[in-house]
């Protein structure tokens, strides 16, 4: 690695290839509160050295499969109650129709999202699943994924805490799976905290899912939700939790750093989103803790400033859909892919479409899925330019 001289002795150590410790990360955070620019510069250099000047995104269709949910997170507007107009229960025909539109738009990711085991709380969900021939949401996800795959779109499921055997089933059709850690602090599950009524968000439960996926060699997308009442040190600890899981199993393909945005119909409606500097410092710190990781921020959640994050260490924008809304953040439309491309170019980066599994994790995908991806990928394992024309 090139020898870079920054003013901070601590930051210079990372260029010797040495991993930073929790205590060092706390110290870097505290130094950055006064002057973040050295940290930003270090993160940018590490991104360039490890990920180059390429930024990726995944061209996706968002399948809002069923949005009833057993849990209640106090920031969530995605979840619906029976009878509400926003209830979504997609039939097999709905999935077939949307997959066919997605294929026409050259989407390569079928993002399947559901609430947490809705059938355990709501008879409406249980009955609807039974009428369609399924005993659980997970069973339906297996079928839904097959429909998308047959239409030529690669599934990636985020359905909360799936069991090991459910994930093993989904591995046949899903090139990767997703589960957000959100935060590793159990304090977030305490009284008046955002996960008080969401047992599935207990960090021990989430870590167990990530470990099961590691044992199954499933490429995983995970991430942290920033600004929900955590302390900076709890956030830094969460970054280290993800690093240690990845060091053990080698299966975390990307980390999403999602800035909380208050929703008017939720308990946290009056809590402001995280301050811009706080968010940026934590993005840059994540790059320092995991120099080679794929680090993503969702561009729609920072509509006026997302290109700035190219200067603090990110290398991915996550899924962007040309045809479906972000049902988790419905008030934030996706920027157009052309606009993102232009902003990347202006900042000196090349935007490329990837599959919902990163090229360096292709080897973990089912061999049938891998051969299907290779039919439309280029020699770098990205979606070929010809396919997108």
Q: Which residues bind ligand SF4 (CB under 6 A)?
A: 69, 71-73, 76, 78-79, 115-116, 160, 198, 200
Closest CA to 286 of 57, 11, 25, 8: 25
Q: How far is the CB of 188 from ligand SF4 (least distance, A)?
A: 12
- Residue 198 CA to residue 201 CA, distance in Å, equals 6
Q: Which two structure tokens, joined as six digits, stand for 359? A: 């090229």
> Contact at 8 Å (CB) between 284 and 42?
yes
3-state class of 70 per DSSP?
Answer: coil
As a whole number of angstroms, the distance between CA 5 and CA 9 comes to 9
Q: How far is the CB of 113 from ligand SF4 (least distance, A)?
A: 8
Q: Is 63 helix (H, G, I), strand (E, B) or coil?
A: strand
Which residues face 157 on adjacent strands? 112, 177
Closer CB to ligand SF4, 76 or 344, in the complex? 76
- 116 vs 316 by CB, closer to ligand SF4: 116
Closest to ligand SF4 by CB, 186 or 360: 186
| 242 touches 257 (CB < 8 A) | no
The distance of closest approach from Cβ of residue 232 to ligand SF4 in the complex, given in angstroms and rounded to an integer, is 23
Are 109 and 34 a contacting pair, CB within 8 Å? no
SS3 content of the chain, % helix, strand, coil (to 5): 45, 15, 40
Tokens of 250: 């080698």
Closer to ligand SF4 by CB, 73 or 288: give it.
73
Q: Which H or E element spans position 69?
A: none
Its sign, for the CA torsion 185, 179, 223, 12, is positive
- Which one, 201 or 243, has the nearer CB to ligand SF4? 201
Q: Which is nearer to ligand SF4, 78 or 122 (CB)?
A: 78
Least distance to ligand SF4, CB of residue 46, Å: 31
| Nearby residues of 23 by Cβ (< 8 Å), 6 or more positions away | none
For ligand SF4, which is the closer residue by CB, 78 or 279?
78
The residue among 49 and 196 lying less far from ligand SF4, judged by its C-beta, is 196
SS3 321: coil
Q: Are the beta carbons of 262 and 304 closer than 8 angstroms?
A: no
Chain centroid, CA 368 distance in Å: 24
């Amino acid at each position: 690695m090139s020898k870079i001289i920054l003013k901070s002795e601590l930051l210079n150590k990372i260029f010797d290839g040495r991993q930073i410790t929790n205590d060092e990360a706390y110290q870097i955070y505290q130094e950055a509160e006064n002057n973040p620019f050295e940290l930003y510069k270090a993160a940018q250099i590490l991104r360039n050295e490890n990920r180059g000047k390429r930024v990726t995104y995944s061209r996706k269709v968002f399948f809002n499969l069923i949005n009833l949910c057993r849990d209640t997170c106090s920031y969530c507007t995605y979840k619906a109650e029976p009878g509400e107009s926003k209830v979504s229960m997609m039939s097999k025909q709905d999935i077939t129709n949307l997959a066919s539109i997605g294929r026409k738009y050259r989407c390569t990711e079928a993002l399947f999202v559901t609430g947490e085991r809705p059938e355990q709380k709501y008879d409406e969900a249980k009955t609807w699943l039974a009428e369609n021939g399924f005993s659980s949401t997970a069973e339906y996800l297996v079928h839904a994924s097959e429909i998308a795959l047959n239409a030529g779109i690669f599934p990636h499921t985020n359905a909360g805490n799936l069991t090991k055997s459910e994930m093993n089933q989904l591995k046949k059709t899903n090139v990767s799976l997703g589960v957000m850690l959100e935060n590793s602090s159990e304090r977030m599950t305490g009284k008046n905290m955002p996960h008080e009524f969401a047992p599935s968000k207990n960090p021990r439960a989430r870590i167990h899912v990530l470990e099961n996926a590691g044992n199954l060699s499933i490429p995983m997308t995970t991430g942290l939700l920033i600004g929900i009442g955590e302390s900076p040190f709890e956030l830094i600890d969460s970054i280290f939790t993800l690093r240690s899981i990845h060091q053990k199993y080698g299966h975390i393909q990307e980390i999403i750093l999602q800035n909380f945005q208050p929703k008017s119909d939720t308990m946290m409606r009056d809590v402001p989103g995280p301050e811009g500097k706080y968010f940026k410092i934590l993005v840059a710190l994540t790059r320092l803790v995991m120099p080679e990781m794929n680090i993503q921020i969702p561009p729609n959640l920072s509509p006026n400033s997302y290109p700035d994050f190219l200067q603090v260490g990110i290398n991915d924008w996550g899924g962007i859909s040309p045809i479906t809304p972000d049902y988790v953040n419905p008030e934030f439309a996706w920027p157009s892919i052309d606009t993102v491309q232009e902003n990347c170019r202006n900042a000196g980066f090349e935007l490329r479409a990837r599959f919902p599994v990163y090229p360096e994790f292709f080897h973990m995908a089912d061999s049938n899925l891998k051969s299907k991806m290779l039919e439309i990928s280029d020699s770098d394992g990205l979606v070929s330019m010809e396919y997108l024309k």
